[in-house]
Amino acid sequence: MYRLLYPDGLLDETHRTLDLLFPYDDVKATKRVGKIARRKGVDIEARIEEVMDEDRRFQLKHYPYYGERLKRIQEKYDEMKPASLKQWWYDRRKREEWAAFMLGAIVIFVLTVVFGIISSVTGILQVSLARKPS
């Protein structure tokens, strides 16, 4: 009966597309999608990358009805930049950029601690030398 209403493959592709956008088998993603959906609306960050080939080209042959729309969603998603530190921490789309950011943050933190310790020791030495009678 449904075959008369919908073209061949449309319902299957719709099901695969919805599973792609809103995964129900990934508990962590489902909790996150549900949390964000309750707070802000719908999160379209999904597993679209899983159907991309090694050259990051979308495999349109697997999605003849929704492929172009999914491609546009992926392009918009790729264009977005993290706005907060928390978003930078969880964003793994560009691993090299993330690693460079984290390496820079770690280097700055270590240098801050080292120079803080040197400054404190120098300050303590100055105070102790200033208290000694000459």
pLDDT tens-digit series, residues 6-57: 888 888 888 888 877 776 666 556 666 666 666 655 444 544 555 555 544 4
Sequence-distant contacts of 10-14: CB under 8 A, at least 24 apart? 10/65, 13/63, 13/64, 13/65, 13/66, 14/65, 14/66
- The DSSP element (H or E) to which 38 belongs, if any, is helix 27-39
Convert the pLDDT of each residue in 105-123 to its tens digit. 999 999 999 999 999 999 9
Question: For residue 60, what are the CA distances in angstroms to 57, 71, 84, 95, 129?
Answer: 9, 8, 33, 25, 75
pTM more than 0.85: no
